[in-house]
Structure 1
Amino acid sequence: MEVLGLSIDSKLTWTSHLSNICRRAGQRLGALRKLANKLDAKGRANIYKTQVRSIMEYSCLAWMNASPTTLRQLDLIQKKALKIIGVDEDLALQQYAISKLGHRRTVAATTVLYKMHTSNCPVDLKALLPQAHTVGRITWRVLPSHALKVPKSKTNCLDRSFLHSAITTWNSLPPAVVGDITSTGVHAFKKRLNKYLLSI
């Protein structure tokens, strides 16, 4: 079944959908390879980000719970793209702001969780926001005041889903990174989050 460009199977494995994404991204990567000698590294990086990576990130919050093996197919395409651009992972990040795809999905998911605290969020999505974490028995781990209750899960697949993944990241953030949660503070939060996650 296909909904808004997402191929959904009965078990929500996303295998077919991500195979299709990889095929389309691979085709565009082939086109970039043919153009590579006519562009400088910056031009190649810009085309990769706008024409190839954009395909690999469309609706990523829906399928980010795919198996690590399946998601590695996307990482392989980015690895090939960096070879075409002519940089390694460190230079790609420093010079062209090309970070790892998993990192970008984490930032996207956690930023949406931030938005769920504000008025800039659809009512249906806001309704999924969990309650604040409440202190029960004394434990060795002290959670920050902004921490949320992690929904119960019985499978690794659910643990990797958007909400569970975002809450896990959210609960690990220092208060200074979360900052004051406001409807106009989303962009600033995303910048702080990105910088913090790259530093740890």
Structure 2
Amino acid sequence: MNSALTFTGHVRTIAKKAAWKLSCIRRVSHLLDSQGISTLYAAQVRPLMEYAPLTWLSCPPSYLSLLDKIQHRAQRLIRLKAPPDQPSPTMQPLQQRRDVAGLCVIFKTHKQGAPHLTALRQPWAQPHGHTTRAATSRVHQLVVPFARTETFLRSFLPRYTRMWNHLVMQTQLHYTTSLHTFKSAANAWIKQP
């Protein structure tokens, strides 16, 4: 965290390290096929870009896009090495992975009652006094914290509380008891246009 209480410098450093690791993979890419490059990227570069993604959310999108550019370079490298008759493997966008991770934290906090995440617990929304179409899902929604600044609006609690409320209104995933089932279904829900 820098003197302005942001993670922008840290994310820039992470992007440089990830770009350096990807350039190392590119230097040995003549020895590897597309699957080998994909495996090395997933083992060496992507964990560096994903070890604390929920903390970095308050960074400006331009800094997070540095990480996305590195993933696009890796996809290009994998596509170049893929045989022409075989489709190249697609990677999940990093923002989608961050969103699924954030929703899983909210699920663990509010539905599974993880004790180590109690600081992230938000109060449940009050039910409406009258019957509406959204009244049945209202009891499963959370109170979104008020945000005065755009930086706080992008941070974990406001962003994923709003996303949780949208998920509750559009799906029945909040009734799921298994984290694995929730994660798979949330991934599919986020992919939808």
In which range does the TM-score fall when normalised by the shorter chain?
Answer: 0.7 to 0.9
1:147 corresponds to which residue?
A: 141
Flag structure 1 segments of 5+ consecutive residues without an equivalent: 1-7, 88-93
Displacement of 1:120 in angstroms is 5.9
Note if 1:133 corresponds to 2:129.
no
> Could you tell me how far apart the structure 1 residues matched to 2:191 and 2:57 are?
19
Q: TM-score, normalised by structure 2?
A: 0.84
- 5 Å-filtered alignment, 1:10-49, equals 10-49=3-42
Matched residue pairs, number? 182
> Offset of 1:126 from its aligned partner?
1.5
Deviates more, 1:129-138 or 1:166-175: 129-138
**In 2: Cα distance, 1:35 partner to 1:85 partner:** 13
Judged with a 3 Å threshold, the aligned counterparts in structure 2 of structure 1 residues 135 and 95 are, in CA distance, closer, same or farther, namely: farther
Structure 2 CA distance for aligned equivalents of residues 122 and 67 of structure 1:
31
Q: Deviations over 1:34-64 (max 9, x none)?
A: 1222222122112111111110111111111
Alpha-carbon distance in structure 1 between the residues aligned to 2:191 and 2:112? 28
Say whether 1:156 aligns with 2:156. Answer: no
Which residue matches 2:83?
none
TM-score by length of 1: 0.82
1 CA distance for matches of 2:90 and 2:29?
A: 19
Q: Distance in 2 between matches of 1:95 and 1:186?
A: 30
Q: Which amino acid aligns with 2:141?
A: A
Aligned counterparts of 2:175 and 2:111: Cα–Cα separation in 1 = 13
**Share of identical aligned residues, percent?**
32
Q: What is the CA–CA distance in structure 1 between the aligned matches of 2:38 and 2:143, rounded to whole Å?
A: 40
- Residues 148 and 167 in structure 1, CA contact (< 8 A), matched pair in contact too: yes
| 1:77 maps onto 2:70 in alignment | yes
Question: Structure 2 regions of 5+ residues with no counterpart?
Answer: 81-86
The one of 169, 174, 177 equivalent to 1:178 is 174
Q: Specify the structure having the higher radius of gyration (Cα).
A: 2
Structure with the higher fraction of residues in helix conformation: 2
